[in-house]
Amino acid sequence: MLSQEQHVEISVLIRQGLSIRAIARQMRCSRNTIRRHLKLQSQRQPIVYGPRAQRVGKLAPFEAFAARPHWIPAIVLLREIREQGYEGGYSILTSFLLTLKTKATETVVRFETEPGEQMQVDFTVIRHGRDPLLAFVATLGWSRASYVVLSRREDSVAWCSGIEKALRFFGGTPRKLLFDNAKGA
């Protein structure tokens, strides 16, 4: 009696073109056993699977109701459809609601300037608290090259010092300086 693995191995060896004698020698069984396997295999009809039947989920009868009020929170919607007989869980409902949400895709338009046209300057907070740490950041509009210097304060002296150091670092002066929400400027 051959095991399922042996049947599969014989089928593979037959597809490779080996003779009955070679397969019997390799499998260490009689040639009649190999012939019996071939006879059984030829009598079997190949199993052909059709398309799966569509399953009806727990939420299916309530999808029309759940889809309409897209602004209602899922937990409130769950309570309402449970009153109507829904027996499913919260995660089924939320995954269905996620399929209904469309992502708003905004096209990103890159802001382009000519070389030497503009430098953007700003301060950013690195650390809050008793001993705050700020950073002066200057970025060239065309190449996006940046210059950063740390500072303890954001006053007009720090602004002028940061701009002067950035201009020396870049080796030139752009036509415009663009300030972002600067009180000290």
Residue 79 included in any domain:
yes
pLDDT of residue 95: 87
pLDDT 10s digits, 59-84: 888 888 777 666 778 888 889 889 98
pLDDT at 38: 84
What residue ranges of the chain have pLDDT lower than 50? none
Range of the domain at 78: 60-100
What pLDDT is recorded for position 183?
65
Do 172 and 127 lie in a common domain?
yes
State the pLDDT at residue 69. 60
> How many folded domains does the chain comprise?
3
DSSP the chain: ---HHHHHHHHHHHHTT--HHHHHHHHTS-HHHHHHHHHHHHHSPPP---PPPPPPPTTGGGHHHHHS-TTS-HHHHHHHHHHTT----HHHHHHHHHHHPPP-PPPP------TTSEEEEEEEEEE-SSS-EEEEEEEETTT--EEEEEES--SHHHHHHHHHHHHHHHTS--SEEEESS-S--
pTM, full prediction? 0.42
